Amino acid sequence: MNDDFKLKNIFDKYRENKNSHVYLVETNCIEQAVQDIKNLFIMINKFVENDVEQLILNNTLPTMYIIEPKLQEIVTEDIENLIAKLQQIPVITKENYFIISEAERLNKKSGNQMLKIIEEPETDMIGFFVCNSAENVMPTISSRTQLITLTYDIEKTFDDKLLENAKDYLNSVHSCDSIIFNKKYVDLYKDIKSFSNFIEAVIFQEKKYINSQKNSDIICKENQILKKLYEVLSKVNSNCNINLLMDKFVLEVSRLK
């Protein structure tokens, strides 16, 4: 079963009201899996009024909650806040949604706090624990969720010129407070397919940069940039205004300094 079919299968079961409400996703690329899960939420809400798609892509949907580790673990306070929100009646959408990224980093207390929500949800809810290794997720979580695997081709090759441009772009992002340089690359890769390929190359170079770092503060910041790049990639493929998208990306990165 390919990965697109796995997510489509969840969607079909949702429409038949036969879906599990909490999943454990094992993947070799957490960032891409999170984006695909968000795309699933978009599919589920395709015919809902309001601009739900943009709210999901911008992480501003009031009923969607994404939890990520802070430094080395998922902190208890974030889980407590998540549980409180999941107990509220959903607005705009029929269900509340949550994604816990790097679920291996749940500590014992946080994991135990999630059990009641998994076993006895107070509202309609669909949730995903996303991890690199299901074996490293707390057994109390893994035994109560439906496991699916999403495997991505992360060994994509890029030509030397594209990689050079991607590296130059990243250098500009890291060192420049202006958004002027964006136009050069938007003009260079004019169609959606070529610009999408360019952003994938930028992501490739950003991962290399992160792997070369040893300072935890730098790694933390660069992981935030990497997350924003995956969000950019998702929006590029949804036919948005690329000029505005890239200007917004640079401005958001500048605030991380």
Residue ranges covered by each domain of the chain:
3-150, 160-254
Q: Number of H helices and number of E strands within the chain? A: 11, 5
Cβ–Cβ < 8 Å for 125, 93: no
Distance CA 166, CA 203 (A): 8
Q: Tell me which fold the domain 3-150 belongs to.
A: Rossmann fold (3.40.50)
pLDDT value for 154: 63
For residue 136, give every residue at least 6 positions away whose Cβ sits within 8 Å of its Cβ, in sequence order, or none: 104
Strands 96-101 and 64-67: parallel
For residue 62, give every residue at least 6 positions away whose Cβ sits within 8 Å of its Cβ, in sequence order, or none: 55, 91, 92
Give the helix, strand, coil percentages of the chain, each rounded to 5.
55, 10, 30
C-beta atoms surrounding 70 within 10 Å: 12
pLDDT value for 6: 63
Q: Give me the residues of the chain with pLDDT under 50, please.
A: 1-2
Nearest CA-CA partner of 4 in 37, 30, 50: 37
Q: Which two tokens stand for residue 101?
A: 């990224």
| pTM of the predicted protein model | 0.66
Identify the burial level of 174 via C-beta atoms within 10 angstroms of its C-beta, where 0-12 means exposed, 13-18 middle and 19 or more buried: middle
Give ∠ CA 30-235-160 in degrees, rounded to 5: 75
Residue 101: beta bridge partners? 130
Identify the burial level of 223 via C-beta atoms within 10 angstroms of its C-beta, where 0-12 means exposed, 13-18 middle and 19 or more buried: middle
